Structure 1
């Protein structure tokens, strides 16, 4: 499933061709949405926004197109009249004079008023967007020590969109590893230094993934591995999807575990165990 950085990069591409442009025509593939074609035709796209893994297309009226890619949804930006070769089902097509933004396969799509946005089941309960430029490490520290979250294992907490919106499976493993923490720990088990390190890692890894096109490994390590002829799969992640390989930081073995049917990767050698957290 695409995570926050992937959705934000898709949003950037869509914004580049839709923002401040008039929607001359559109296609809405789901039956319950077809009635909005006339309503939205001729409107101007005011802005493109992401909230976690949801993408919002705001028009210069009271309406917003909400979409969540879920597991299989994907956006394409093309010249108008050009369609990608695919067996996927087209769900949304937004056409300006020169370009089209096409959404395939997703089914969680709605046309909502500003008021309806505030009560939407997903939007109304999610936490801060991980890529929100106003989000600071101190704000994250506050959430980590919030009574709602402080007693939950990091491995579980970091997939909860109510805690932070936009983090998924690979970011979870990469963030907790970067902070050097055992994923079975809870925020309440950590000292102030460790909490601060975790908060900073959360921002650093998420922003690194966004700006690098999905690479969460440290730039120096990724560059070195690439120069050695390694594949993108080999240098993209520091820990995720690297079971049995050596940790780039300490040389320890990367282990894989499963939590609620979701893969989790860690290094037992450099990710602190419970008894080590009590000092300081």
Structure 2
């Protein structure tokens, strides 16, 4: 699933090529929303809302897409060949100088703009972590309310109802950099540490929002290959202490979670959930 900074960058690119332009043609090649309804309207805005992308039109309609794991938006010049087949296109918007195509998004909705405020997903989103103003204290309070006595930081931090935009990658990288194990219960994290986690996630995502290559390990900014501390490195040595990086599945959604057992002390209540994580714990 794309992280919030990916949607932020996507919205920035689409805004540059769509905003203020008249829609000459629009379609949904695989069925779905009646895209012809926006033809003749002008694109008023393109906005990232957490992991959702919303395009507003001058006729009062709005297009919402959620990309999940496989979706993406592409921008082409008129007549330029697409990099993916038409069969994968979910929505197409054509203006005099650009063609914007949404590929493989599982969620594509066209609605009255007024419905955004009561949309069952959008109306429940917490503050976008990339948008100003951003109230860190309010987010920390929300994390504590959501967690209660037993909620774990690795799961609660990704609850889009509390703060929108943080995905699995930034969860893992942030908690590593803050030295907090993802299975740590929020209730035992002190206020300064919890605030540090939220601020670190925001700083990392804002740093990467206008970059083509995502970086969290700044020492490796000029290197080829991964520039992350943990992402994609399970089974390899930690770049800080050389302990082998391990992982497990966390929460109701079984999200892939990784950590360094030395840099992020394992809480006493943690029990491995998968065969692979049990093997790692036994080694």
TM-score calculated relative to the size of structure 2: 0.86
Range moving further from structure 2, 17-26 or 115-124: 115-124
Q: Which residue of 1 aligns with 2:279?
A: none
Q: Is the 8 A contact 2:158 2:171 kept in 1?
A: yes
Q: Which residue of 1 aligns with 2:58?
A: 60
Question: Deviation of residue 158 (structure 1)?
Answer: 2.3
Equivalent residue in structure 2 for 1:82, among 80, 93, 96: 80
Q: Which residue of 2 aligns with 1:45?
A: 43
Is 1:15 paired with 2:6?
no
Count of aligned pairs: 264
What secondary structure sits across from 2:93 in the alignment? strand
Is 1:170 paired with 2:169?
yes
Question: Deviation of residue 2 (structure 1)?
Answer: 1.4
Q: Is the 8 A contact 1:257 1:264 kept in 2?
A: yes
Q: Which runs of 4+ in 1 moved over 6 A?
A: none
What secondary structure sits across from 2:81 in the alignment? coil
Is 1:254 paired with 2:245?
yes
Q: Which residue of 2 aligns with 1:26?
A: 26
Q: Is the 8 A contact 2:215 2:221 kept in 1?
A: no
Q: 1:136 to 1:212 in 2, by over 3 A?
A: farther
What secondary structure sits across from 1:33 in the alignment? coil
What secondary structure sits across from 1:212 in the alignment? coil
Q: Which residue of 2 aligns with 1:196?
A: 195
Q: Deviations over 1:218-240 (max 9, x none)?
A: 32x1136x1xxxx322xx21112
Q: Deviations over 1:189-220 (max 9, x none)?
A: 1112212221221212222332333523232x
**Alignment of structure 1 residues 210-249 onto 2, 5 Å:** 210-219=209-218, 221-223=219-221, 226=223, 231-233=224-226, 236-249=227-240
Q: Is the 8 A contact 1:5 1:131 kept in 2?
A: yes
TM-score calculated relative to the size of structure 1: 0.86
What secondary structure sits across from 1:55 in the alignment? strand
Q: 1:149 to 1:127 in 2, by over 3 A?
A: farther
Q: Which residue of 1 aligns with 2:280?
A: none
Cα distance in 2 for partners of 1:55, 1:10 equals 8
Q: 1:138 to 1:212 in 2, by over 3 A?
A: farther
Question: Deviation of residue 274 (structure 1)?
Answer: 4.2
Question: Deviation of residue 184 (structure 1)?
Answer: 1.0
Q: Is the 8 A contact 2:56 2:113 kept in 1?
A: no
Structure 1: unaligned runs, 5 residues or longer: 276-280
Equivalent residue in structure 1 for 2:69, among 71, 94, 97: 71
Q: Is the 8 A contact 1:240 1:264 kept in 2?
A: no
Q: Deviations over 1:229-261 (max 9, x none)?
A: xx322xx21112211222223333211222243
Task: Give the alignment's Cα RMSD to 1 decimal.
Answer: 2.0
**Alignment of structure 1 residues 82-121 onto 2, 5 Å:** 82-87=80-85, 88-121=87-120
Q: 1:78 to 1:58 in 2, by over 3 A?
A: same
